[in-house]
């Protein structure tokens, strides 16, 4: 029922927005207020029924009515936007193409109103039918909704939920480290994978247990153990799942193992040539890597024996194999069949362990960084604890279920009423705790959660992309706090899912959640897909040998391109509104969209079109894309596309345009983006140009633009930025022009009241002249600039008093500082990422004192050829998570003080002197003098071992 309320509200808000924009280039010159009023009546009626029923009834009839309601809502939007587009094209000389297509659809305002009246009557009848099915004993739901005027006076009784913002990133950074009941399992698995001289040889170790019991968590803990990382040379983690293909598994293994043997360039070349390589050849390559290296491979969520039977051809014989495998599976007989030499059967947590895990996760959101509790829970007597323990016992000792319940309760005040309500929902519905998290979501967020099921299992989902898709799909409310953008509100939706553990953030050094990626546990995804497809909310087309899916009637559809050899026979619905072309291939390898695949001529109602890592044959878009005038979201992220056609300028409703194609692709962009007056989010690729190779793209007039990233002042004029007064996020690359830099800093300062994310990448900017030297203070003191990447000679480190405290990222290349820059940079209170490379510092000694770098998460030192010694004091960099050191040829050892940095989890060493590397390797009792400086939870990774010194 919640999803229906969301859908009706979204359509109403869409009409309100179009009506409020009347007179603008994308507005609708029609009075839509009667229809908005009627839709609000429908929302009120649904809310009334929701307040009188504990759970939503489900039947085939109810599902059919819900699908009909959804279709009618889409039709209302179609009719209004068709009229709006005709109105715009009729007043513009450039709109003759559009007029020719839509003149037969709408002849004028009166006809549009007549259609809307008919559709609204059908919608009202459908909602009345739905309400009767849900609450047949409630008299008011049998009334004609078209005449309901008094419903809004009824007080809907429901528990108000606290809007819990995302807590400090520091509180979440070590969640996976807190485990209960896994200590013995970790110890035993490490021992069998790294055996002593007298221990039996085990090639395959298996972790078995039901879904949500913690198999992947245990495997991850073992995978990152210091002893494991020191013993094995190469590592790969592959999610198998039920819709596996042997090709995907082999490619993913090679993708992760090849960096140990090949340079990056050679690796990319080999990955590209794999497109035409037979599976047998891929298997032979995997065989060679496993035979020549000591590898550890995790095969996660193995469901069938057939995958192992197919993989066997890639495995060396047991006698010649020093590599090891960890399998996680729900089926113990599968572990036996593959010949696992060691099987660990996961055990459900006992009541005390369950309570310990629940208490940790329940309290996590209310902990300050010093560990103190922000919320006084109070003494509510033994009844509260008794009911809470009953709620936890319903989780059957499954860690995932316990974490979901704890996370759900931490989004509100923990009191007797909330616990009883939660326990009652589980007892009355017969559903598990994972569904309780969904049904307790605040109104409006449930559809955003269901949408997560579109994405492949175990895949990384970019948070900013997810928020923009939610907006384009109409899943985000129009009711916002003062000064809040729709993107801000979408971020709050995501925060709510995060606090409830329905999504899991990937570890990252950045401070802005929208720049991170996340994933969904496979059980939670299975639930969202099942419910989403049952309600007709969307359909995932993921063909396999046994279950080919070629047709879809859903109006939202996700197609996993790598699962299809030919899309010619794939037929999405003609009423398709949203199409995500995704890849479930974990290696990130792109797949080709061939011209014989289905075209888009029959899908003109599309609002969302996402091409993810798609290689377009001949570098051109498919047929019919030029007619998708109603698109709100268009993305080519990670794809290979050489030309963005001029017809994109006709997409007047477009709000998000993501042109971040593959980095090795130079995109030619027609000078039409300025026509997209409604554009809010624009992403340029790494390399782009205009058709004449020397012109400038015009951006003047994009007054709605909130996000502008990848702007290159060689192709776009910096002067246009001054006129973009609505920017919230800005990322610009400048090629050594002082005039452009001055204009950009002025733009940033002018937008200081609402700019929340700013990045400036300065190329080839040597400061030898007095004019350039005098500009440096204004650059570093810019209070709104968050991220600075600067390439060029400075010679002198700016005084700390002239550096803004707002910096979260600083990358300095070729600066040639003679004085240690750490003395200044360590005083920046919010700095999280610091990179010093290519002679940024030309001195011999570097020192980090306490309590310097209070927020630093990532430090990278590269090509500091003069650096000999580095000292770290106890208390410095106490939050450092990632440390990378490469090509510092005079550096002999790690600093002793690194042993005090207990937060360090990733240490990467690349192309360092043999003496340095030897101190981190212990072979036959020799070497390893620096190992005591690294905490046991830190994973050490060595890059290319090519001789370079």
Residue ranges of the domains in the chain? 2-153, 182-345, 349-366+383-439, 446-534, 808-949
Tokens 């009191």 sit on residue: 415
H helix runs in 415-521, sequence order? 416-429, 433-439, 446-450, 463-472, 486-499
Q: What is the pLDDT at residue 56?
A: 59
Q: Which phi and psi angles does 564 have, rounded to 5°?
A: -125, 130
Nearest to residue 895, comparing CAs of 922, 911, 879, 877? Answer: 877
Domain 446-534 classification at class level: mainly alpha
The residues that bridge with 558 in the sheet, in sequence order, are 540, 580
Instruction: Please tell me what DSSP assigns to residue 339.
Output: T
Q: Which phi and psi angles does 264 have, rounded to 5°?
A: -60, -40
Q: What angle do CA 666, 668, 674 make, to 5 degrees?
A: 130
* Tokens at 724, concatenated: 């973009």
On whether the CB atoms of residues 303 and 211 are closer than 8 A, the answer is: no
Nearest to residue 281, comparing CAs of 268, 292, 270? Answer: 270
Q: What is the pLDDT at residue 16?
A: 72
Q: What is the pLDDT at residue 158?
A: 30
How many angstroms separate the CA atoms of 225 and 228, rounded?
5
Nearest to residue 29, comparing CAs of 108, 96, 99, 105? Answer: 108
Nearest to residue 684, comparing CAs of 652, 725, 719, 729? Answer: 729
Q: Is 150 exposed, middle or buried (0-12, 13-18, 19+ CB in 10 A)?
A: exposed
How many angstroms separate the CA atoms of 228 and 531, rounded?
40
Query: Mean pLDDT for the chain?
Result: 79
Instruction: Please tell me what DSSP assigns to residue 395.
Output: T
Instruction: Please tell me what DSSP assigns to residue 932.
Output: G
* Tokens at 886, concatenated: 């490469």
Instruction: Please tell me what DSSP assigns to residue 398.
Output: -
How many angstroms separate the CA atoms of 858 and 836, rounded?
11
Using CA atoms, how far residue 863 sits from 806, 869, 940, in Å, is 27, 14, 20
Q: What is the pLDDT at residue 378?
A: 46
How many angstroms separate the CA atoms of 305 and 598, rounded?
35
Q: What is the CATH number of domain 182-345?
A: 3.40.50.300
DSSP 3-state of 106? coil
Residue 484 CB coordination number (10 Å): 12
The continuous run of DSSP H or E covering 240 comes out as strand 234-241
The overall pTM is greater than 0.85: no
Cis previous bond, 851, omega within 30:
yes
Report the Cα 205 to chain-centroid distance in Å: 31
* Tokens at 464, concatenated: 């900013």
Q: What is the pLDDT at residue 918?
A: 87
What are the mean pLDDT values of the chain's consecutive 10-residue runs (949 residues total)?
A: 68 70 48 76 71 60 73 76 62 44 47 72 74 62 41 30 33 54 91 75 90 91 85 88 84 78 45 59 87 90 89 80 90 91 93 88 57 47 75 85 81 60 59 70 82 88 93 79 82 86 75 74 88 83 61 82 70 83 74 76 90 84 90 94 92 94 91 93 94 83 92 91 89 91 89 87 92 92 92 92 93 95 95 95 95 94 96 94 94 94 91 90 75 86 56
- Torsional class of 597: left (φ above 0), alpha (ψ -120 to 50), beta (otherwise): beta
pLDDT, tens digit, 9 for 90 and up, residues 791-843: 999 999 999 999 999 999 999 999 999 999 999 999 999 999 999 999 999 99
DSSP 3-state of 586? coil
How many angstroms separate the CA atoms of 837 and 431, rounded?
55
pLDDT, tens digit, 9 for 90 and up, residues 360-378: 887 764 444 444 444 444 4
H helix runs in 706-755, sequence order? 738-750
How many angstroms separate the CA atoms of 418 and 208, rounded?
35
């Amino acid at each position: 029922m919640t999803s229906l309320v969301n859908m009706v509200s979204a359509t109403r808000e869409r009409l309100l927005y179009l009506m409020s924009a009347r007179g603008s280039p994308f507005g609708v010159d029609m009075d839509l207020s009667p229809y908005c009023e009627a839709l609000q009546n429908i929302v009120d009626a649904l809310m009334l029924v929701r307040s009188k029923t504990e759970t939503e009834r489900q039947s085939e009839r109810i599902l059919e009515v819900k699908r009909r309601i959804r279709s009618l809502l889409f039709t209302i939007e179609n009719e209004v936007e068709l009229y709006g587009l005709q109105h715009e094209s009729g007043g513009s000389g450039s709109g003759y193409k559009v007029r020719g297509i839509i003149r037969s659809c709408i002849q004028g305002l009166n006809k549009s109103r007549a259609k809307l009246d008919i559709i609204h009557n059908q919608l009202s009848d459908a909602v009345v039918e739905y309400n009767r099915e849900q609450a047949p004993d409630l008299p008011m739901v049998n009334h004609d909704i078209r005449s309901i005027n008094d419903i809004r006076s009824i007080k809907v009784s429901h528990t108000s939920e606290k809007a819990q913002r995302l807590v400090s990133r520091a509180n979440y950074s070590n969640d996976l480290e807190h485990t209960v009941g896994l200590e013995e399992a970790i110890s035993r698995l490490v021992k069998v994978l790294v055996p002593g001289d007298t221990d039996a040889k085990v090639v395959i170790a298996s972790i078995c247990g039901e879904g949500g019991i913690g198999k992947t968590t245990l495997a991850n803990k073992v995978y990152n153990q210091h002893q494991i990382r020191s013993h094995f040379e190469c590592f790969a983690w592959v999610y198998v799942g039920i819709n596996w293909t042997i090709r995907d598994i082999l490619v993913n293994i090679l993708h992760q193992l090849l960096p140990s043997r090949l340079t990056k360039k050679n690796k990319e070349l080999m990955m590209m040539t794999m497109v035409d390589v037979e599976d047998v050849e891929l298997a032979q390559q995997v065989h060679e890597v496993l035979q020549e290296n000591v590898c550890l491979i995790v095969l996660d969520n193995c469901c069938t024996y057939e995958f192992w039977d197919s993989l066997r051809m890639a495995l060396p014989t047991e006698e010649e194999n020093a590599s090891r495998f960890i399998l996680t599976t729900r089926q113990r007989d599968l572990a036996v069949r593959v010949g696992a030499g060691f099987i660990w059967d996961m055990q459900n947590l006992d009541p005390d362990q369950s309570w310990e895990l629940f208490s940790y996760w329940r309290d996590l959101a209310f902990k300050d960084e010093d560990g103190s509790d922000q919320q006084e829970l109070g003494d509510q007597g033994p009844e509260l604890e008794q009911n809470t323990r009953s709620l936890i016992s319903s989780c059957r000792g499954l860690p995932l279920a316990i974490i979901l319940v704890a996370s759900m309760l931490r989004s509100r005040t923990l009191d007797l009423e909330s616990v009883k309500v939660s326990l009652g929902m589980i007892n009355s519905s017969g559903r598990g705790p994972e569904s309780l998290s969904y049904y307790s979501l605040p109104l409006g967020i449930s559809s955003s959660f269901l949408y997560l099921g579109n994405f492949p299992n175990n895949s990384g989902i970019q948070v900013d992309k997810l928020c923009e898709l939610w907006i384009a799909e109409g899943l985000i409310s129009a009711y916002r706090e003062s000064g809040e953008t729709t993107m801000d509100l979408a971020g709050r939706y995501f925060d709510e899912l995060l606090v409830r553990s329905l999504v899991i953030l990937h570890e990252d050094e950045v401070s802005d959640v929208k720049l991170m990626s996340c994933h969904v546990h496979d059980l939670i995804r299975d639930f969202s897909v099942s419910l989403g497809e049952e309600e007709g909310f969307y359909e995932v087309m993921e063909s396999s040998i046994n279950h080919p899916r070629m047709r879809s009637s859903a109006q939202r559809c996700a197609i996993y391109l790598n699962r299809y050899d030919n899309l010619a026979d794939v037929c999405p619905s003609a009423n398709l509104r949203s199409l995500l072309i995704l890849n479930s291939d974990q290696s990130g390898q792109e797949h080709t969209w061939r011209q014989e695949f289905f075209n888009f001529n029959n899908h003109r109602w599309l609002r969302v079109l996402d091409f993810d890592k798609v290689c377009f044959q001949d570098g051109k878009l498919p047929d019919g894309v030029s007619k998708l005038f109603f698109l709100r979201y268009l993305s080519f992220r990670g794809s290979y596309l050489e030309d963005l056609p001029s017809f994109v300028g006709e997409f007047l409703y477009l709000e998000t345009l993501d042109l971040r194609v593959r980095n090795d692709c130079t995109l030619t962009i027609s000078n039409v983006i300025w026509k997209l007056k409604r554009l809010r989010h624009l992403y340029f690729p790494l390399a782009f140009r205009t058709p004449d190779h020397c012109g400038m793209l015009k951006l003047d007039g994009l007054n709605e633009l909130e996000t502008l990233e990848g702007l290159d002042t060689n192709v776009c004029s910096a002067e246009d930025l001054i006129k973009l007064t609505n920017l919230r996020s800005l990322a610009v690359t400048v090629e050594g022009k002082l005039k452009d830099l001055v204009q950009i800093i002025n733009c940033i300062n002018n937008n200081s009241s609402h700019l929340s994310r700013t990045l400036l990448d300065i190329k080839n900017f040597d400061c030898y002249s007095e004019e350039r030297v005098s500009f440096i203070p204004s650059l570093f003191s810019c209070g709104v600039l968050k991220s600075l990447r600067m390439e060029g000679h400075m010679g002198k480190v700016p005084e700390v008093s002239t550096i803004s405290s707002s910096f979260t990222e600083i990358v300095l290349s070729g600066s040639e500082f003679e004085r240690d820059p750490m003395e200044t940079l360590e005083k920046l209170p919010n700095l999280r990422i610091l990179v010093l490379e290519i002679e940024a510092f030309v001195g011999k000694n570097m020192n980090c004192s306490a309590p310097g770098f209070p927020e630093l998460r990532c430090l990278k030192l590269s090509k500091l050829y003069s650096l000999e010694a580095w000292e770290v004091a106890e208390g410095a960099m106490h939050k450092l998570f990632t440390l990378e050191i490469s090509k510092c040829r005079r550096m002999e050892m790690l600093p002793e003080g690194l042993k005090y940095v207990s937060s360090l989890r990733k240490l990467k060493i690349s192309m360092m002197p043999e003496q340095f590397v030897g101190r981190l390797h212990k072979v036959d009792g020799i070497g390893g003098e620096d190992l005591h400086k690294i905490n046991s939870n830190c994973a050490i990774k060595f890059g290319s071992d090519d001789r370079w010194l």
